[in-house]
Amino acid sequence: MINVERAGEHEFVATNGRGASVRIGRKDQEGSFSPVELLVAAAAGCALVTSETLVLRRTGTDELSAVADAVQSESGNEVISIPVTLSYDLSGVDDPEALEVVVRRAVEQFCTVTRTLKQSATAPLQLPTPLQTAPDPL
């Protein structure tokens, strides 16, 4: 579970149960990620976490990174695509095409974030309800 609390005007802090935290704010807020940037980071991070062992074992290096960005609708209120580009050194790889096949398959099968985005997961919103009071018996 993730807990998000207000830290100031347009500033929030998300924490997890393992003690990690990240600042969330509007896209122009210094020192924070916007919610869309977090979504993009989640897609890129998931691809990296999923492919890390495969890539590092086959390339023989420890260099692995990703670049991603949100492609938004014309209105700017919807993300329609999050292209993720992985980067790693292929100079020591005998069969780069085979590595590509394995990495793509792993990410498509095991990356929870990108799989969820493809399925268009819902995000139901629950709001507080007013306290229900018993009618006055008199």
Question: Tell me: the pLDDT tens digits for 55-98?
Answer: 999 999 999 999 999 999 999 899 999 999 999 999 999 999 99
CATH class, domain 34-119, is: alpha beta
Q: Percentage of residues in the chain with pLDDT exceeding 90?
A: 88
Q: How many residues does the chain have?
A: 138
d(CA 23, CA 42): 15
Query: For residue 135, what pLDDT is reported?
Result: 67
The closest alpha carbon to 114, from 62, 72, 53, 51, belongs to: 51
pTM for the model? 0.88
The domain locations on the chain are: 1-33, 34-119
Please tell me the least confidently modeled range out of 46-50, 100-104, 128-132. Answer: 128-132
> What's the angle, vertex CA 126, arms to CA 121 and CA 130, rounded to 5?
170
The answer to whether 70 and 82 have CB atoms below 8 angstroms apart is yes
